[in-house]
Amino acid sequence: MTHYGTLRVWAALLTVVGVVWIVLAVFGTIIWAIEVTGFWRTIGVLVIGGPVAVVLATLPIALGQAMRAIADVGDTVAAR
């Protein structure tokens, strides 16, 4: 039995939130690219703004993976 169940629940929740944020960041980037005027501004949005938004949207997934890893280490250490 694990003593880190709460940590695992939060990790799963953060992963779900991260996936939703990635989808919203992609949709937002597409809408932003449509709304700007000019070829170079559109390219700037797609080349710079979009990837930055997606990278920032992946932070909850990374935090969730870190929390899951901490729970795994805690379970391994507690089993000894």
For the stretch 15-72, pLDDT in tens is 999 999 999 999 999 999 999 999 999 999 999 999 999 999 999 999 999 999 999 9
User: Residues 30, 34, 35, 39: what is their CA dihedral angle, to the nearest 10 degrees?
Assistant: 120
Residue the block writes with tokens 């880190």: 4
Structure tokens at 10: 């939060």
**Residue 5 backbone dihedrals phi, psi, to 5 degrees:** -65, -40
pTM of the entire structure?
A: 0.84
Give yes or no for a contact between 2 and 75, defined as CB atoms under 8 angstroms apart. yes
Looking at residue 17, its amino acid is: V
Position 80 confidence tier, pLDDT thresholds 50, 70, 90: confident
Looking at residue 58, its amino acid is: T
